[in-house]
Structure 1
Amino acid sequence: MNIPTGVKNHECAVCGKAFTRKGHLKRHMEIHASVKHQECDICGKAFLHKRSLKLHVEMHAGVKNYKCVVCGKAFTQKGALQLHMKIHAGIKNYHCNVCEKAFTQKGSLGLHMKIHAGVKNHECYVCGKPFLHKGHLKLHMEVHAGVKNQECDICGKAFLHKRSFKLHIEMHAGVKNHKCVVCGKAFTHKGSLNRHIKIHAGIKNHDCNVCGKAFTQKGSLKLHMKIHASIQNHDCNICEKAFTRKRSLGLHMKIHAGVKNFECDVCGKPFTQKSHLKLHMEVHAGVKNQECDICGKAFLHKRSLELHIEMHAGVKNHKCVVCGKAFTRKGSLKRHIKIHAGIKNHDCNVCGKAFTQKGSLKLHMENHAGVKNHECDVCGKAFTLKGHLNLHMEMHAGIKDHECDVCGKAFTRKTTLTGHMRIHACIKKS
């Protein structure tokens, strides 16, 4: 019988590694020979050692005998538990030599290095989008499949990803862990707090490329653009007046109901909206003497008030002679005319591309800078252009306007439908 003495007399002739037992050396030699006799009957994966196969089969069976004493998470293999315990201990021995970020596991560092190298080996066969991780591609494929397995028991809304679902549940529970250090206002999502902070900082990165008006939040700009596009989907069933925003319709209905909960402490005048009262108070302060009787907004100059009144009345006296589109203000018409004239005075100093409006150039420059100010408040993904975010939000909303003429399947994006049509084309050829 070969009794181990602690002495490693059995050395591998290939790599020089030494072993206490001859049997251990024999099994080690199978690695160099790439011999894998132990095959899994479930998935066909082969292993060098019987013990490795046994652990693998336990994984299929869902056996998890190794439990973390800190958080209760269970694992199939002891080694996996040991790696997990390093996370609790804060042990990060694997450092990136590019950005100095540290990792608990060597494999995590390896994946991280692919980011610096720009390696994305996992490509979507439908739309061609590449991904760094196989897991990310798997989640992406659920978008094409329209799979939403995470369903809310409260409202029935479904989500693609577990993280998005968790944030949604916190919203129902009223959990607001992200607090503003300036005014104390709390938010459910970190992204919402980040956008709120921009208000205090006076940051307005979202410019309208039609009139140049700037906004703190992309959502505000999106609603503003509907005004330019004359999109008014929310109709009043009493007077048939239409509104761009659902909230605006709700406030308008209060007028019909005679609801005016916001009263001025100085003169007693009541208002439907708190913002109207706030504007009205500026009149008492002598800041703006020209007040709108409709919404309470005040102006310094009479001419500004007149233009504002025309907006309420829907007066658009400035008409384009080329396409017939009408505008409330002359300045808006002038900017519009430049599009027809092909006037592009705003040149990009990086690639030379020219634009009609300064706002369009500003958005283009963000592409070069890699700036992504348009963040999704559901999953946190950021985009350079608001249009890309709008498309992304349609995915969360489950909007599928692009339908296949062959099988009737609907998609969120036109590009996804194009990729889908290739499948029909391949079937037809075969």
Structure 2
Amino acid sequence: MRTHLKKGKRTLKVDISELKCRLCNVPFSDLNDIRIHLTDEHGKVFSTSGNGMIAYSLKTKDGMFSCHLCTDKFNSFFLLNKHINVHYNNAICELCGKGFVSHKRLLLHREIHGNDQYPCEKCKVTFSSVTKLKYHREKVHSPKKVKPSKCQHCSERFVHHYEKVRHLSEAHGMKIEFKCESCGANYKSQKSLAFHRIKYHTLSISCEICKKPFSERNHLNRHMAMHTEERNFACSLCTKTYRYEKSLKDHMRVHNPNWKFACSECWIGFSGKIKYRKHMAELHAK
């Protein structure tokens, strides 16, 4: 192991797509199974601290990688490598309970729970995580050429992963989706998935009264109406008031069922989006 690990690394990625015992040629599909076999059948001794290896099956079919622990398929090793976390609990995030295959990946994950800013010392651009800062340095300031990623179906190569994903979709008709491991929602881009995770799965602020956590301050503000009982949204056609803007919009249909849009400034109702937008542009443009 030590001869294969780079300095500072504690884990080694290994391909088990053609895993077999070199002493008797018996095939295996799992590292733990072959370890037990070597101990029981060949008397080999292993450390009790673990094997320090992360297993992957790198055999592709139609240009797609498959997870050897489930049936999920991926168009790149980058996505397979990210997915493998769902099957391990070697390191647990104490803030959200997610499991990770290694402590290093847990440290990278913890960045989404903080509000720290990491500035680039060369151009002063700031980033929300060390990972994004490192990526920026390599792409913008590194004198070394970044190794391009090759398409599995043709000879095209790409510096950025998003370019490869777009190429696979446009040139080869492959539907690329990024799945949220927390709720199963699918998104067309990694950026959309990241925004979804922050909005719905990162609870960074809480109500001072009941301690309920929220991912966004506007969600907290709507929640506070439950404690204050303030009714700041009044109907311009009758005397009714409401705690929430959505409740008032629903109420406006009582006066006219055809109103699908309501102005939040003067609460005039509109049957179509074009008339609503024209009203907002002419009377409430900021």
Q: Give the alignment's TM-score, normalised by structure 2.
A: 0.35
Q: Which structure: larger Rg?
A: 1
Q: Give the alignment's TM-score, normalised by structure 1.
A: 0.25
